[in-house]
Structure 1
Amino acid sequence: MAHPRSKASGNEGGLKEFRIGELFEKLQLGMTKKNFNKTEDVSKERNQIFNLPLVNAKHGNNGIMYYGKDSNFESAEMTIDIVNDGAIATGDVYPQPQRTGVLYNAYLIKLKKQASITKKSLFYLASAIQKSIKMKYGYDNKAGWEKVKNEKIFLPTTIDGKIDFTYMDNYIDNIDNLQYDKIEDFLSTNGLSNSELNNIEFKTIKNIYKTKSAKFKCGTIFDIYSPPKRYNANSISFKGKYPYIARISGNNGIKGYTTQNEKFLCKQNTIAFGQDTATMYFQSKPYFTGDKIKVMELRNHELTENIALFLKASMKKSFSSFSWGVTSFEENVLKDVDIWVPVTSTGKIDFEFMNSFISAQKKLIAEKVVRWLKQQQINDNILEIERNLPKDVLPMVAENGCKS
């Protein structure tokens, strides 16, 4: 699928260092309702009543976990959300182009002097800030504004030294186009270009509510143990061959690549479990790791990506009731946690069901992605037509619409 390629503006002035607090101000947004009741005044689902996105200590979903009533929260648009306090989310930075309010454990910042800014530039700026602060802050070192405002970011500038917002817009355009191609390549490589379910996958989805499940201890499904050797991430070089798995969010837990003594590699096709964050990452290749990581090796069956995805979802559901902290996920506690898994008619764990269920889910999601890509191509074609229309024609098109 072809996509128009945007050309960067040239970034004639090169990159320039800016202090975050020099460019941005923290917005003082609060609740307007005096007696706030979380049960009654926010919702995890957006609807006509609860229609205002609220930022808090949320990792993923663009930092939004709850929605509030417009009348109960002060709000602003074209802002950047910084999570200042969260077990995993501390230092996460999200662009918030829509009108947004603040719940807790996060705050919104906004450019001081820029009269108007595009969504694309907002995305660029949020990314630059996250790159600057994410690895510096954590659960024990909160990303409060008094510290963050003194951090530095690098931004493109024009030849006269001003911030080059045009370059940012074009840069994000190029990223978008590259992502389209990567998505298409991923779908093709993984056999997902054709998202039609096979007979087994179709039957699995059709009979999902008839499937039997049973409760098993984690320690009966997995062998759970410490890595052969723990490597301190601050004491090793990251210009090597094997992945180093840490208790980080995203990138499948890979902090970098290192070369160490191969006899201390953790086995491939295992799950690396972060004890104090409950992060779980399936590793298809041998890896090194550090402190507070447990290796989970499936018993009596090969752990494939699909089976790992299913078991991870089940474990996350069981762990959701745990409080954060190292003691919550000590090895003996971890082994004793109950998780629900599908079983055969003889009561054995049904790994084939797990595999076909996840395979079906991948295809169903891929189908939505393909539809989205096709819509993007239509949108790109429309934009290309509009670019080539004479300027005096556009108002007539907008007023009269396209007639067949």
Structure 2
Amino acid sequence: MNASLNEKLGTVKWGEFKYKEVFNRIEQGRRLKKDDQIDGTIPFVMSGTTNAGVVNYISNPVASFPKNAITIDIFGNTFYRNYAFGAGDDTGVYWNDATAYSSNAMLFFAVAMQKSMMGRFSYGKKLRSSQSEDFTMHLPVTDDGAIDFDFMESFIAELEAERVAELSAYLTVSGLDNYELSSEEESVLKNFQSLKWDTYNLEKLFGKATRGKRLKGDDRIAGTLPFVTAGEASEGISAYISNEVEVFEKNTTTIDMFGSAKYRNYKYGADDHVAVVHTEAVPMKAAIFVTSACHKAAHTGKFDYGHNFYAKDADALDIQLPTKDGKPDYDTMTALISAVQKLVIKDVVLYADRKIEKAKTITKH
């Protein structure tokens, strides 16, 4: 956040407001077991931060909460929802159907609420929405003590403009702002169904996988080297260390104890629950394709806490890859990943462009 925004936060007047003073509707979701969920288009929200708590898209006749609402789960994780959704019984929903708050105001509320509940709830002490009505949050106020909606509106708009400008700069520097497909990329997408595939053994392609070494949490010394362990949070990076450990090269693939594969475009260390597949010599985008093939072959539910995936399992792993003249077709893999990347990033680039143009219009006025 730039200096001017920090200064604004430091000079504005603040007041304390109960949740029930801001929202006239505070409700709890309803239980819907996973086995009872029917595939559909309704986002279904439960506790957790992955995918902002959206665990499935359903068609069950559940209570539909309106867009422009805020959810808080049993652990205090708070999200603003700009779409209609269903919610499980571990999620509270907050909105006001008497006053149409703007999306920027709701975003400000969500941050203030998250801050007010930080560290207060856990598995041993879970939050229910009915308990939160008298909880308080701090909000900007006018001289007469009313919520300063004008301040919140301008602050969120300015913060968004700042973040979008940073995103646009990153896309330009990284070359991701070019989303036009080349003729080769268009061709490989068009002919995807006719590609030839073959089965390849990882050890025969890349040599023996390497197993990381155990490094207890208490023994880790803070530093700058990413240290990879099993898990999905932060792509498995559990710490940044300065310990003398084996450093694995970038452009390699890790497969953790559960069979979850991830591509690494940076040097890193790894613990004993991680196998490293040495794809260093493969072109980067082809290596990303190989990682996806590894994940599909290994992350099947076969491996868990009782049956870990190890380096020897990586050596025995067979994966499906596009093939040409009896060898992996890395050129096709590269073109496929490049095309998919452009298709995915296109909406992001167009979003950034629209937001920047909107910000320019506002600035002119």
Give the TM bin, normalised by the shorter chain: 0.7 to 0.9
- Residue 345 and residue 96 in structure 1: after superposition, are their counterparts in 2 closer, same or farther (change >3 A)? same
**For residues 129 and 68 of structure 1, do their structure 2 counterparts lie closer, same or farther at Cα, with a shift above 3 Å needed?**
farther
Contact 1:11 1:157 in 2 (8 A): no
| Counterpart pick for 2:193 among 209, 213, 229 | 209
What's the CA shift for 1:167?
Answer: 5.2
Does the CA contact (< 8 Å) of 1:246 and 1:253 recur in 2? Answer: yes
Aligned to 1:272: 254
Q: 1:188 is matched with which residue?
A: 172
- The match for 1:230 is 214
Which moved further from structure 2: 60-69 or 12-21?
12-21
Amino acid of the residue matched to residue 355 of structure 2? Answer: Q
- 1:391 maps to which residue? none
Aligned AA (1:66)? Y
Shift of 1:302: 1.6
> 2:322 corresponds to which residue?
342
Q: Report the alpha carbon displacement of residue 68 of structure 1 after superposing the two structures with TM.
A: 2.6
SS across alignment from 1:282: strand
| Corresponding residue pairs, total | 354
**2:39 is matched with which residue?**
43
CA-CA distance at 1:181 after TM superposition: 2.0
Which of 86, 99, 103 in structure 2 is aligned with 1:101? 86
How far 1:358 moved relative to its partner?
Answer: 0.9
**Shift of residue 168 of structure 1?**
4.9
Separation in 1, partners of 2:303, 2:114: 24
Check whether the contact 2:229–2:256 (CA below 8 A) recurs between aligned residues.
Answer: yes
Give deviations 1:30-74, integer Å, cap 9, x for gaps: 279xxx9967x6324x2xxxxx322146732762521335x4435
Mapped partners of 2:297, 2:125: distance in 1: 30
| 8 Å Cα contact 2:19/2:137 also seen in 1 | no
Q: Which residue of 2 aligns with 1:296?
A: 277
TM-score by length of 2: 0.72
The 1:146–1:62 alpha-carbon spacing in structure 2 relative to 1, beyond 3 Å, is closer
Quickly say closer, same or farther: Cα 1:117–1:83, change in 2 above 3 A: same
Distance (Å, rounded) in 2 between the aligned partners of 1:264 and 1:65 = 40
Partner of 2:27: 27
Q: For the residues of structure 2 that align with 1:128 and 1:209, how far apart are their CA atoms?
A: 50
> For 1:115-130, what aligned pairs fall within 5 Å after superposition?
117-124=101-108, 126=110
Q: Secondary structure at the match of 1:352?
A: helix
CA offsets 1:304-349 (integer angstroms, 9 cap, x no match): 4412322233333345541673235421445444432111132x12
Q: Contact 1:11–1:156 at 8 Å: present in 2 too?
A: no
Matched, 1:145 2:117: no
1:325 aligns with 2:317: no
Match of 1:244, SS state, is: strand
Please report how far the alpha carbon of residue 284 of structure 1 lies from its aligned counterpart in structure 2 after TM superposition.
2.6
Partner of 1:172: 156
Structure 2 contact 47–53 (Cα < 8 Å) conserved: no
SS class of match (2:209): strand
- Residue 351 of structure 1: which of 330, 338, 342 is its match? 330
C-alpha contact (below 8 Å) 1:9/1:166 kept by paired residues:
no
Residue aligning to 2:43: 53
Relative to structure 1, the CA distance from residue 201 to residue 336 in structure 2 (aligned partners, 3 Å threshold; closer, same or farther) is same
Letter in 2 for 1:340: Q
Determine the structure 2 residue equivalent to 1:12: 11
Measured in 2, the distance between the counterparts of 1:288 and 1:380 equals: 43
Give distance in 2, aligned partners of 1:237 and 1:23.
45
Whole-angstrom distance in 2 between the partners of 1:196 and 1:243: 34
**Closer, same or farther in 2 for the Cα pair 1:118/1:131, shift >3 Å?**
same
1:399 corresponds to: none
- Deviation sequence 1:260-282 (CA, Å, 0-9, x none): 22x53233322233324x55432
> Distance in 2 between the 1:6 and 1:213 partners?
54
Instruction: From the superposition, tell whether residues 267 and 192 of structure 1 become closer, same or farther in structure 2 (CA, over 3 Å).
Output: closer
Let me know the Cα RMSD of the aligned residues: 4.7
TM-score (normalizing by structure 1): 0.66
What secondary structure sits across from 1:98 in the alignment? coil
Does residue 257 (structure 1) correspond to residue 222 (structure 2)? The answer is no
Tell me the distance in 1 between the aligned counterparts of 2:363 and 2:255. Answer: 48
SS for the counterpart of 1:241 is strand
Aligned residue in 2 for 1:68: 59
Q: Tell me, in whole angstroms, the C-alpha distance in 2 between the residues paired with 1:241 and 1:337.
A: 32
Identical positions, percent = 18
CA distance in 2, matches of 1:134, 1:344: 55
AA aligned to 1:65 is N
Q: Secondary structure, in 3 states, of the residue corresponding to 1:60?
A: helix
User: Which of 348, 355, 363 is matched with 1:376 structurally?
Assistant: 355
Question: 2:303·2:309 contact (CA, 8 Å) conserved in 1?
Answer: no
Q: Which position in structure 2 is the counterpart of 1:393?
A: none
Alignment partners' CA distance in 2, 1:17 and 1:280: 47
Which residue is equivalent to 2:263? 282
Look up the SS of the partner of 1:204 in the other structure.
Answer: helix
User: Which segment drifts farther, 182-191 or 319-328?
Assistant: 319-328
